Amino acid sequence: MSKAETAKAEDSLTDYPLEPFFNDSHDLFCIAGFDGFFRKVNPAVSRVLGFSEEELYSRSIKSFIHPLDQEHTWKYRKRLISGLGFKKYENRYLTKSGETVWLSWTSIPVDQYGVVYAVAKDITQAKQREEERNELITNLTQINKELKNITYTTSHDLRTPVSNLMSVFSLLDLSKIQDEETLEFINILKSATDQLRNTLNDYVDILNKKNSVYSEISINSLSETVEEVINSVNALIKETNTVIKTDISTDISIPFNRGNLKSVILNLLTNSIKYAHPERNAVITIKAVEESNKVTLTFSDNGIGFDSEANADRIFELNQKFHDHEDSKGVGLYLVHNHVTNMGGKISVNSTINKGTTFTITFKK
């Protein structure tokens, strides 16, 4: 652009009144002197802070600033007056009614006139949301810490009685037991106890590691893992006359923390058994379908079910229970959801009262 064109463009600006831009803006516009007093403010300043223009002009700007931010803001002003412009400087002001307002400033000093031109946005709501989010993160961190401590304590303390039980099995002289049904029962109990011991040892090992358990990833055969979990609760399955149908190709494998994968399957499996319909035997169908970049695992049962639509917002939250079963603690589905989502997967549920429940889990490959 030539000098003539530039001059013409600058002259054309005078054809447009700037007062509406200054007065009607929702942002706070102000001109402040190097002496620390307002020279000019737009109506938004009075609206946000609650002071009249006369009150704003009669007092030092410092008197409107939150006491905890006064010292820091005045150091910022000294740097600003020395010729440094600032963007997104945040501080708190007190309104006339005593409420705290957060403002984000962009300021430019003009040494020629001894003033600072400044524009501020009211970010109070954003700060409140940030505070609520931080409080939520703190609470979740504390909950996770407590759950870890509970898991560690439970896993550690249970190992001693389980080891004692295994010692009892080793002392048994099975040759003196002639009844085949009793022998079968002892073998089932021994196998279940051995599985429990291995599971407890795995949990303690995981919790003792400093690194996140989610970094301990291995490639797991889905059919083998499901079969292993089923075998670990075989006694419960027989006792309850539960029928389990599986449709999982032996070729399907997923990257996952092995202990957490077994925890997911175990919780869903035992939930289906626990909440079986009293008028029919439980039938649980476990099916997996592999696609190019994901594996979809479904758990379906014909149990008592619940209203999944009415409870959609709290199904996977901690301490949420949908039945009055004596063993219901409201922890299992919370853990399942955490295990799945922390690995980038997804889980959903569709359940109808007296018809049954289907959980659908999508694993990334």
Chain position carrying tokens 């959980």: 359
Structural domain includes residue 134: no
Average pLDDT rounded to a whole number, residues 136-156:
75
Where is average pLDDT lowest: 110-114, 138-142, 260-264? 138-142
Structural domain includes residue 254: yes
Expressed as residue numbers, the domain containing 187 is 141-208
Structural domain includes residue 5: no
Query: Residue 14: what pLDDT?
Result: 52
What are the pLDDT digits (tens) for 269-328? Answer: 988 998 899 899 999 999 999 998 899 999 999 999 888 887 777 777 766 666 665 555
Q: Return the SS3 of 95.
A: coil
Of 298, 299, 209, which Cα lies nearest the Cα of 257? 209
Query: Residue 323: what pLDDT?
Result: 60
Higher pLDDT, 300 or 201: 300
Average pLDDT rounded to a whole number, residues 1-27:
63
Query: Residue 156: what pLDDT?
Result: 59
Q: Are residues 240 and 190 in the same domain?
A: no
Structural domain includes residue 73: yes
Query: Residue 330: what pLDDT?
Result: 61
Structural domain includes residue 130: no
Where is average pLDDT lowest: 87-96, 131-140, 147-156? 147-156
Q: Are residues 223 and 164 in the same domain?
A: no
Query: Residue 261: what pLDDT?
Result: 92
CATH code of the domain covering residue 88: 3.30.450.20
Average pLDDT rounded to a whole number, residues 10-39:
80
Q: Are residues 225 and 357 in the same domain?
A: yes
Q: Are residues 185 and 260 in the same domain?
A: no
The total number of structural domains that make up the chain = 3
Average pLDDT, the chain: 83
* Tokens (6 digits) for 13: 């600006």
Write down which residue in 167, 185, 208 finishes a domain.
208
Structural domain includes residue 135: no
Query: Residue 209: what pLDDT?
Result: 57
> The whole model's pTM is what?
0.50
Q: Are residues 256 and 336 in the same domain?
A: yes
Query: Residue 211: what pLDDT?
Result: 47
Query: Residue 6: what pLDDT?
Result: 43
φ, ψ (nearest 5 deg) of residue 40: -155, 140
Q: How confident is the model at residue 250 (pLDDT cuts 50, 70, 90)?
A: very high
| pLDDT at position 10 over 50 | no
CATH code of the domain covering residue 334: 3.30.565.10
Q: Are residues 360 and 255 in the same domain?
A: yes
Q: Are residues 294 and 360 in the same domain?
A: yes
Q: How confident is the model at residue 186 (pLDDT cuts 50, 70, 90)?
A: confident
Structural domain includes residue 136: no
Q: Are residues 106 and 28 in the same domain?
A: yes
Higher pLDDT, 193 or 302: 302
| pLDDT at position 353 over 80 | yes
Q: Give the percent of the chain with pLDDT over 90.
A: 42
* Tokens (6 digits) for 310: 């009415």
Structural domain includes residue 129: no
| pLDDT at position 67 over 90 | yes
Q: Are residues 282 and 333 in the same domain?
A: yes
Query: Residue 171: what pLDDT?
Result: 75
CATH code of the domain covering residue 184: 1.10.287
Query: Residue 246: what pLDDT?
Result: 95
E strand or H helix that includes residue 326: none
Q: Are residues 49 and 158 in the same domain?
A: no
Write down which residue in 181, 208, 235 finishes a domain.
208
Where is average pLDDT lowest: 85-99, 107-121, 176-190? 176-190
**For 167-194, b where at least 16 C-beta lie within 10 A, e where not — what string?**
eeeeeeeeeeeeeeeeeeeeeeebebbe
**For 26-65, b where at least 16 C-beta lie within 10 A, e where not — what string?**
eebbbbbebeeebebbbebbbebbebeeeebeeeebeebb
What are the pLDDT digits (tens) for 337-351? Answer: 888 988 889 999 999
Q: Are residues 310 and 238 in the same domain?
A: yes
Write down which residue in 186, 208, 230 finishes a domain.
208
d(CA 322, CA 326): 12
Q: Are residues 341 and 275 in the same domain?
A: yes
